Each structure stands twice: as structure tokens, then as C-alpha cells.
Structure 1
Amino acid sequence: MEVYQTEEQQVEAIKSYWQEHGNMIIAGIALGFAGFIGFNLYKDNKLENELAVSDSYQVLIENSTKDKAAFNNNAEKFINENAETSYVSLTALALAKEAASAKEWQTAQKQLIKALESAPSDGIKGIASVRLARVQVQLGQYEQALATLAKPLPASFTAAIEEIKGDTYLLQDKKELARNAYQAAIAADGLASSPSLQMKLDDLATAVNLTAVDPAQKS
């Protein structure tokens, strides 16, 4: 590296470098400043778009109880127009809830799969998975329901998962597996959210005891 012996030499070297590269430096600064402004404009536009989508979603949900048919149509349109946003999952969950309340299980399943695939967080994924498993049980898709529940989900869903597994096993006449699942649900504090869990377990124990009694003794 060149060493400058005097201040005059340093000044002359700076002048020479600036004459040769000054325009490039200015252009670089200008581009950088323009990029900074452009980035901030992009962020502002993005935020504005996100707020607009949020407002549209809020209006959509607020109107959901007024006209079910209109809500379904508007919700599908909203999903198509905002396919890259987290509101797709939330809207699909709302559509699934409407379908389930009308016992339209196939439609509910379709919307819950959409909600699961577009879930922006583990929490939303857990909600969609648990509801999907319940719908699959209603459709008699027991193995699919168990497969849905077998996927990794947050620990906060353990009680719900085990209760649905218990219901599924019971419908398959797998009483021992059902009992184990209900006990696991209770151990995960499931009674706090589902008081009927204890009744399910007690009824199952009664059924098992009756089955074990000698037919001659029952007469």
C-alpha cells in the first residue's frame, strides 16, 4: 500500500481519486438513497394493503350472520383474491364452521384441508387439524382421522387430540384403546375444557364390565 509522506501529498491524492471516481461515488449514493426511499414506499404500500385486507376480513366476518349464502359466496371470493395472505386460513375455518353447523361434512372437510394447508402458525394448524379429525369421524373416515391427529401439533392440543382418538377407537369397538386415550386426555387437563370426558370414561368402564360378566350370572 502506498505511503504518503506529507499532508500535501495526501490532499493531492484525494483530489486525484475524487476526479477519477467522484461521479461513481455520487451515483452510488444516489442509488442507495433512492433504494432506501423505494424500500420505505414498498413497506408503506405493503402495510396499507395488509390493513385493507384486514378490514375486508373484518367486514366479511361481521356480515357472516346476516346472510349465509352471501357469506359463503363472499368468503370464497375473498379467499381467491387474497390467496397469499394468512386470512385464507381464517376464512376457510369460518366456512368450515358454517358447513359443519349445517352437517355438510364434505364441504367442511374441504375447507378445513384448505385452512390446514394455508395455516400461518402452529396454533391455527392445531385448530384446523382437530376440527378436521372431528369431521372425518363424522364421515366414518376413522383411519384418516387418526392419521390427521398423528401429525405433530402443539402440546396445548393434547387433551383434544386424545379425546377425539378415544371417540374414534370407541366407534371402531377398540374399547381398550379408547379407555387409554380418554385417560390420556384427562391427564392432559382435558376435563377443564370437556367435562363429559369423565362420563365417557365411566360409561366405557361400565360397558367393559358388563361384557366381562358371565352370561349365566346376568340371567
Structure 2
Amino acid sequence: MIPFLIAAILFAIGGAFYQKYQNRGGRLGGEISGPKVYWLFFCLYAYYAVPVLVLAYAADGNVSLTWLFRGMLGLMLFRMVFQGLWMFVFKKWTPYYGMTFNVLFVAFVWYQVGGILQEERWNRWLYLAILISIHALIDTWYAGVFFRLVGQRTQGDEAVWYADAKDEKYRSINKLTFYLNIILTLLWFYFLFLYNP
């Protein structure tokens, strides 16, 4: 499980640098709070690093598991390209795009896991797939809350994508994000390092 730990540490370091970069002022997307940057890089770790590591170290010829995590990675790579273009090139990103994609992603994961469980028992990797889908569900809820707070201001040259720690209107979502980050971190730690089927 060492590769998973190393990847988590690297993403945490990346998050710290990104927060410093983003909060210098005047950056597209606005300033970002500590809980939000933790959540962002936690999701990047879950959506991209974990599927790659499962495929590299754990799938071990299991066709169902390989298909599941390849599908998850492929869908998220597609989203990354689409979201990157709509945020940084066209500057027309709206949370509804991400919310719609997340719902489709969760449906794919749950359908695939349900099929695998017809022939196999629960294992660490299936639990991780469900955890990744939980990230997508929470992300969908966050996007809905954020959209209610900023409306169409996620588009254009002055787009706001992040919850600023200094802005009072983001206080409750930042607080909730902080607590959910702790809960999910503990769940990930359990299934990666303590779970023994």
C-alpha cells in the first residue's frame, strides 16, 4: 500500500503549493480556502491516482476489476479535458455540467460494482470504488450549494470557482467541508491500511 501513501503525500504537497499560488490575488477562479483545496486535491487523488494505482498494483488479471477502474479513469479523464476547456479556454463552465457528469459517473460505478458482486465478494478495491463514487456525490452537492451562492459568476474572465476563507458567505460550506474531509480521510485510511477481508 506504500504507492497509495506516497501518491497521497504528493497530492497533499501539490495542494499546499496550489493554495499558495491561487491566493496570491487576481487568479482566475478566486481565492481558495484550506478545506476547499484539501477537498480539491483529495478528489484529484481519488479520481485519478487511485484508479491508476489499482490498475498497476492490484487488478492482477481480474478482468472485472480492470474494466471497472479503467472505466472510472477514462470517464474522469474525459471530464478533466472537457472541464479544462470550458473553464480556461471558453470560460463557460457552470456547475450543472459537473453535477450531470458526476451522476452519470456514480451510476456507472454502482452498476459495475453490482455486476461484480454477482460473482465475487466485497473486497478492498470495490470499497474504494464506492468511496470514489461518494466523493462524486458529495462533489455534486457542493456544486449545487456553490451555484446557489454565486449563480452565473462561474463564467467569464472574473469567474469564481472556489470558496474563499475570508468571505462570510462561504463560512458554512467551508466548515462542513472541513468535517467531511476528516471523515473521508479516516475512511480512506481504514480501507487502504487497516481493512483485512
TM normalised by structure 2 equals 0.29
Q: Which has the higher contact order (CA 8 A, sep 6+)?
A: 2
CA radius of gyration, larger in: 1
**TM-score in terms of structure 1 length:** 0.27
